[in-house]
Structure 1
Amino acid sequence: MEVLVQKYGGTSLETLDRVRNAALRIAPEWRRGRSLVVVVSARGSRTDDLLRLAADIGPTRPSRELDQLLAVGECESAALMALALTRLGVPATSLTAHQAGIRTTDRHGDALISSIGAAPVRAVLEKGEVAVVTGFQGVDQAGDIATLGRGGSDTTAVALAARLRASACEIYTDVDGVFSADPRVLPAARCLPWIRPDVMAEMAFAGARILHTRCVELAAMEGVEVRVRNASSQAPGTTIVELQDGRPLETRRVVVAVTHDTDVARVLVHCQNGCRDLAPEVFEVLAAQGTVVDLVARSGPYENEFRMGFVMRRSQAGRIRAALNEVAVGFGGGVRFEENVGKVSVVGMGLLSRPEYTARVMAVLAAAEIPTSWISTSQLRISVIVPQDRTVDAVAALHREFHLDQHEQRSPDAPRTSATSAHSAPV
């Protein structure tokens, strides 16, 4: 069977009309003889509504019962989609994560997919039906529902595509594809026709909310071709794939996109006892909570005071604040959280090998009078911390600096005359 996996996000299913429109897009593929697996998210703001409902009961944290509640949203979407397809004369069966054989680790609220027993899905496909599978969830070793974290339906879709050896995984959303910046804050942003998986993974981690980070990483590891398309249009979208078209790498655009993230907190852990290295304890707290950090720096072994700084999601700060304080206060130190910051990242290829790009980033932000603090560089990303209220200004300035509103040229850009762009390398 040639299998195609399609995933429809919450905005694509927000109303019943949108559910019907998605079904109208699915039906022609089935009529062409494709074996179709459709992964669905909860409709619209359903997950947020369920979280508010739980909060009305009392303070909540990731748990078995919260996952039981949140799973309702995807189950609703799957049943509605199966009904809509059946109404069009397309036989369809909805499957929960348990019925589809999706197994996860035991971490509620942020579980990882450990395996998929694909036989139940294949059985539906072999009957000539569309398999509509709930995203965002699986079943842990105890047989309980475990959710995959926000955006986890993307990961469900890619995992199914890998397990079923699908020809592609199409992610349908409310924008035309992956853009050079967030088009909601920068209208000049350009839709990218294709992008490398490693670059897309960096964009996702650095704030591009179009795809779940783990979904891109899994697609790269499993060799799954991912296409991001608009559920409401026929735009070709963006293909995430290793594309080789014969052009020498040196003539490719180095900077691909500018991303931003305002869900950021800057954290500083300090202790006056410089002989005490708190780094292992700090990382144990972060690991226990499943907290991902970036821009990590720390004091050296011969300094009088231990200091360690990093940035993390502001929305996750509440759940680790007390644990970090307990570690630091026990040794005469403390923890400071700064939440009025944003992270802006230039994403591309070979950036660490070209230090002039870091110089350009810092120079253009200085020229725009945008204060900067912590900075991190790698081959794929340059990230800098700026005041939260200047984040969008920083995105716009860097997008202009690297000509991201223009289509990629086949030869390096001519040297520019501005002080911030006196290099002849391609942008």
Structure 2
Amino acid sequence: MKTTVDVLVQKYGGTSLQTLDRVRHAALRIAEARRRGSAVTVVVSARGSRTDDLLRLAADVGAAGPSRELDQLLAVGESESAALMALALTGLGVPAVSLTGHQAEIHTTDRHGDALISRIGGARVEAALGRGEVAVVTGFQGIDRAGDVATLGRGGSDTTAVALAARLRASACEIYTDVDGVFSADPRILPAARCLPWVEPGVMAEMAFAGARVLHTRCIELAAMEGVEVRVRNASSQAPGTIVVDRPDDRPLETRRAVVAVTHDTDVVRVLVHCRDGRRDMAPDVFEVLAAQGAVADLVARSGPYESEFRMGFTIRRSQAEAVRTALHDLTASFDGGVHFDENVGKVSVVGMGLLSRPEHTARLMASLAAAGISTSWISTSQMRLSVIVSRDRTVDAVEALHRAFRLDRPEPADATPLTSRRSATA
């Protein structure tokens, strides 16, 4: 933008806009940010359960999966929210314009239902800000090379907000949700969970992948690549929230707490693939099936090259299981093999920094779960995440045990000092 005005991007999720009172409350917050001198771009999700309602409508008329027409239908939810927000702002005396993904020039890949943002033109957004208007942009959608609407999939509105913040060189991207920030565990199941004043982008990306629902992995990966500072705040309160940023702090890593949070994921299924002919390496074929459906495998293990039978195990999202089930059955049957899907599982993860360098953390994880009588089947370790598979009905118990074992209800001494943003600290 050809302006020296500070640009701020705010994103409001579906629960933050569920009722008209919440829409008005968000509009007042936007107006206040503008009054303080920021040029504000707002990204909105569909209100409340609107997307789910539209998906049910599509299913009722026989829609079988992602398609051009389904994306056309789903885009209605965000368009409704954007126009409503622009009207609410205008009613407050704040000039505003609503823009669809097409109008904001958000270009995507051609994969309906799970498109990636390829570039943002943003001329109309910049023009609106230059006129002193609030630009209210639909999240979750853009246009593909054919000029058709393409939706971005799970967490798409967060990704839209971060992408716009990067394009506009915004001072920050504020994500407004229904919780006070990013917690050391899900506060809905664990009241002792603590709101984290800051989280490093890499840790946040691992938390999101491992089940934390506040932010989506793609959004945080993009923020890290583009240097966008993300702030997570509660749309219904003035709580300071969480800043996702590399902390401007000279303390060596070893003096920080290594474990930051415990996450859990019940949208997971364990998949076991086998083939009697151990000479046939089916792993490339399996991964091609997963890639074709955009299914991400985690906790992967497989048999060695000299074993008599090929065996491979991994986890994918439960919501992606149906998309790959038939293809995997057909693949294994053609080689006298089979595939088994186990949905009675949950994934629990300890997330932090330098975990692989501290084997005592893996030992503590296993010991605390054993002491709680929770059996584990698979385990995966890395520098930033330790994940285990447990029985689905013991997932919450495992979160409680690990949160207690790693003393995550206790703040670090440095957390007692309010954290200002990196841009503010260096201004």
- Normalising by structure 2, report the TM-score: 0.95
Tell me the SS of whatever aligns to 1:83.
Answer: helix
- Paired residue for 1:340? 344
Mark the runs of 5 or more structure 1 residues left unpaired by the alignment: 412-427
Residue 244 of structure 1: how far off its partner (Å): 2.5
Q: Residue type of the partner of 2:122?
A: A
Is structure 2 residue 106 aligned with structure 1 residue 106? no
- Paired residue for 2:146? 142
Q: Distance in 2 between matches of 1:66 and 1:292?
A: 23
- Paired residue for 1:268? 272
What does residue range 292-331 of structure 1 map to in structure 2 within 5 Å? 292-331=296-335
Q: Distance in 1 between matches of 2:86 and 2:23?
A: 10
Q: Distance in 1 between matches of 2:202 and 2:193?
A: 20
What does residue range 118-197 of structure 1 map to in structure 2 within 5 Å? 118-197=122-201
Q: Distance in 1 between matches of 2:255 and 2:144?
A: 48
The correspondence for 2:226, drawn from 219, 222, 226, is 222
- Paired residue for 1:208? 212
- Paired residue for 1:76? 80
8 Å contact from structure 2 (residues 63, 70) kept in 1: no
Q: Residue type of the partner of 1:190?
A: R
Q: Residue type of the partner of 2:338?
A: G
8 Å contact from structure 1 (residues 158, 169) kept in 2: yes
Question: How many residues are treated as equivalent by the alignment?
Answer: 411
Mark the runs of 5 or more structure 2 residues left unpaired by the alignment: 416-427
RMSD of aligned Cα (Å): 1.0
The correspondence for 1:350, drawn from 322, 343, 354, is 354
Q: Residue type of the partner of 1:52?
A: R
Residue 356 of structure 1: how far off its partner (Å): 1.1
Tell me the SS of whatever aligns to 1:179.
Answer: coil
Tell me the SS of whatever aligns to 2:268.
Answer: strand
Residue 59 of structure 1: how far off its partner (Å): 4.5
Residue 409 of structure 1: how far off its partner (Å): 3.6
Residue 246 of structure 1: how far off its partner (Å): 2.7
Is structure 2 residue 425 aligned with structure 1 residue 404? no
- Paired residue for 2:419? none
Tell me the SS of whatever aligns to 2:314.
Answer: strand
Q: Distance in 2 between matches of 1:281 and 1:287?
A: 10
Q: Distance in 1 between matches of 2:340 and 2:63?
A: 24
Q: Deviations over 1:292-335 (max 9, x none)?
A: 11001111000011111100000110011001111111000011
Q: Distance in 1 between matches of 2:102 and 2:63?
A: 28
Is structure 2 residue 27 aligned with structure 1 residue 23? yes
Is structure 2 residue 388 aligned with structure 1 residue 384? yes
Tell me the SS of whatever aligns to 2:170.
Answer: coil
Q: Distance in 2 between matches of 1:30 and 1:378?
A: 43
Residue 118 of structure 1: how far off its partner (Å): 1.7
Residue 58 of structure 1: how far off its partner (Å): 1.7
- Paired residue for 1:66? 70
In percent, how many aligned pairs have the same letter?
79
- Paired residue for 2:237? 233
Q: Residue type of the partner of 1:311?
A: T
- Paired residue for 1:36? 40
Q: Deviation above 6 Å: which 4+ runs of structure 1? A: none
Q: Distance in 1 between matches of 2:412 and 2:356?
A: 21
Q: Distance in 2 between matches of 1:269 and 1:107?
A: 28
Tell me the SS of whatever aligns to 1:109.
Answer: coil
Q: Distance in 2 between matches of 1:73 and 1:313?
A: 25
Q: Residue type of the partner of 1:229?
A: R
Q: Deviations over 1:147-198 (max 9, x none)?
A: 1112110000000000110000000000000000000000000000001000
Q: Residue type of the partner of 1:215?
A: C
Q: Residue type of the partner of 1:340?
A: N
Tell me the SS of whatever aligns to 2:70.
Answer: helix
Q: Residue type of the partner of 1:94?
A: S
Tell me the SS of whatever aligns to 1:350.
Answer: coil
- Paired residue for 2:121? 117
8 Å contact from structure 1 (residues 13, 43) kept in 2: yes
Q: Residue type of the partner of 1:284?
A: E
Tell me the SS of whatever aligns to 1:263.
Answer: coil
- Paired residue for 1:422? none
Q: Distance in 2 between matches of 1:373 and 1:59?
A: 37
Q: Residue type of the partner of 1:223?
A: G
Q: Residue type of the partner of 2:318?
A: R
- Paired residue for 2:421? none
Residue 115 of structure 1: how far off its partner (Å): 0.3
- Paired residue for 1:97? 101
Q: Deviations over 1:242-287 (max 9, x none)?
A: 0022322211011000000000100011100111011111111111
8 Å contact from structure 1 (residues 94, 132) kept in 2: yes
Q: Distance in 2 between matches of 1:39 and 1:133?
A: 5
- Normalising by structure 1, report the TM-score: 0.95
Greater CA deviation, 243-252 or 136-145? 243-252
Q: Deviations over 1:197-246 (max 9, x none)?
A: 00000000000000011000000000000000000000000000000223
Is structure 2 residue 268 aligned with structure 1 residue 245? no
- Paired residue for 1:363? 367
Q: Distance in 2 between matches of 1:3 and 1:234?
A: 21
What does residue range 1-16 of structure 1 map to in structure 2 within 5 Å? 1-16=5-20
Q: Residue type of the partner of 1:355?
A: P
Q: Deviations over 1:102-132 (max 9, x none)?
A: 0000111111000000211101111110000
Q: Distance in 1 between matches of 2:66 and 2:296?
A: 16
Q: Residue type of the partner of 1:313?
A: R
Residue 410 of structure 1: how far off its partner (Å): 6.0
8 Å contact from structure 2 (residues 185, 403) kept in 1: yes
Tell me the SS of whatever aligns to 1:260.
Answer: strand
